[in-house]
């Protein structure tokens, strides 16, 4: 048995409208960086900081004035690569730093990030940066199919390699790095916005934690955006901006 997406004209018009309505939103303007052909290589500092931010923002409400938003925008970043590298007990340092920031939910964040830090130090840094930089080195003329394939492969690498990173979190990390156009994090805001298009399918967290289901929904979003004349990373930013109003 096979399932296929059937996209209605009304779905396409909803996408076009949110893209038009949010064209001047700062988040949408910032997300344009994902479409730039020439990208700087990802280094340890950028990868680690985005990993921490992706983990924190996935468990806490994000928006202007929220504790997690204030925390991730601090300069210098409290959990930067250089700061963490100087600590003997990384897990304790992360836990204490997050607690002092009064971020409500962090559950196993310190444990998972400390494990990932240790794993990177043990020899995974080279592979992690190589995978990310597969996306910075894609030629400008790379066709859509090949770019999508590469983005998904890198997202799956992150999911398979690092603790606390499922399908959504892995794409959140890559999007924060400005590397992806087509693979996007499907969060609660996007799920809510898509509900009229997907009825009677419910995008629950357990279902989206399954890679096959997540990729099925992602394929539908990509096709919807293609028919609406946009790309998923801008669609995602537009929905986020609209839901914050």
Q: Is the pTM of this model over 0.85?
A: yes
CA distances from 19 to 193, 203, 223 (A): 13, 22, 16
| Contact between residue 24 and residue 245 where contact means Cβ atoms under 8 Å apart | no
Report pLDDT digits (tens) over 164-193.
Answer: 999 999 999 999 999 999 999 999 889 999
Question: Which residue from 31, 21, 70, 53 is spatially nearest to 184, judged by alpha carbons?
Answer: 31
Beta-carbon count within 10 A of 75 CB = 6
Q: Report yes or no: 84 and 90 within 8 Å, Cβ to Cβ.
A: yes
- Which residue in 175, 185, 201, 193 sits closest to 244, CA to CA? 193
At 67 the pLDDT is 76
Q: What is residue 119's predicted lDDT score, i.e. its pLDDT?
A: 98
Alpha-carbon span 158 to 173, nearest angstrom: 9
Q: Domain spans of the chain?
A: 9-37+184-243, 44-176
Query: What is the pLDDT, as a whole number, of residue 66?
Result: 77
Q: Is 229 exposed, middle or buried (0-12, 13-18, 19+ CB in 10 A)?
A: exposed
Q: Which tokens go with 15?
A: 């996408």
- Name the nearest CA neighbour of 166 among 245, 241, 54: 54
What φ, ψ does residue 179 adopt, rounded to 5°? -100, -20
Collect the ranges in the chain with pLDDT lower than 70.
1-3, 59-64, 104-107, 199-200
DSSP code per residue over 8-24 = -HHHHHHHHHHHHHTTT
Q: Are 55 and 94 in contact (CB under 8 A)?
A: no
- The Cα-based distances of 44 to 107, 140, 144, 212 in angstroms read 25, 25, 28, 30
Percent of the chain with pLDDT over 90: 73
Count Cα atoms within 13 angstroms, Cβ side, for 107.
10
For position 42, what pLDDT does the model report? 98
Q: Name the DSSP class of 120.
A: I
Report pLDDT for 199: 62
CB contact set of 192 (below 8 Å; sequence gap of 6+): 243
> Which pLDDT score is estimated for 1?
43
Longest dimension (CA), the chain: 57
């Amino acid at each position: 048995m096979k399932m296929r997406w059937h996209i209605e004209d009304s779905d396409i018009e909803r996408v076009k409208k949110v893209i038009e309505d949010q064209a001047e939103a700062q988040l949408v303007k910032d997300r344009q960086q994902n479409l730039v052909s020439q990208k700087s290589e990802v280094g340890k500092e950028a990868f680690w900081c985005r990993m921490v931010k992706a983990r924190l923002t996935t468990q806490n409400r994000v928006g202007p004035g929220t504790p997690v938003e204030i925390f991730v925008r601090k300069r210098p970043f409290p959990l930067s690569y250089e700061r963490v590298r100087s600590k003997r007990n990384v897990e304790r340092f992360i836990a204490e730093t997050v607690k002092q920031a009064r971020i409500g939910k962090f559950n196993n964040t310190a444990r998972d990030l400390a494990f990932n830090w240790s794993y990177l130090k043990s020899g995974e840094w080279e592979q992690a940066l190589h995978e990310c930089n597969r996306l910075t080195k894609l030629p400008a003329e790379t066709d859509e199919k090949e770019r999508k394939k590469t983005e998904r492969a890198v997202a799956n690498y992150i999911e398979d390699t690092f603790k606390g990173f499922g399908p959504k979190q892995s794409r959140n990390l890559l999007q924060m790095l400005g590397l992806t156009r087509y693979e996007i994090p499907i969060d609660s805001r996007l799920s809510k916005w898509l509900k009229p298009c997907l009825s009677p399918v419910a995008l629950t967290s357990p279902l989206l934690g399954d890679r096959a289901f997540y990729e099925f929904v992602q394929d539908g979003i990509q096709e919807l955006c293609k028919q609406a004349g946009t790309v998923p990373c801008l669609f995602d930013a537009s929905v986020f901006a609209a839901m914050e109003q």
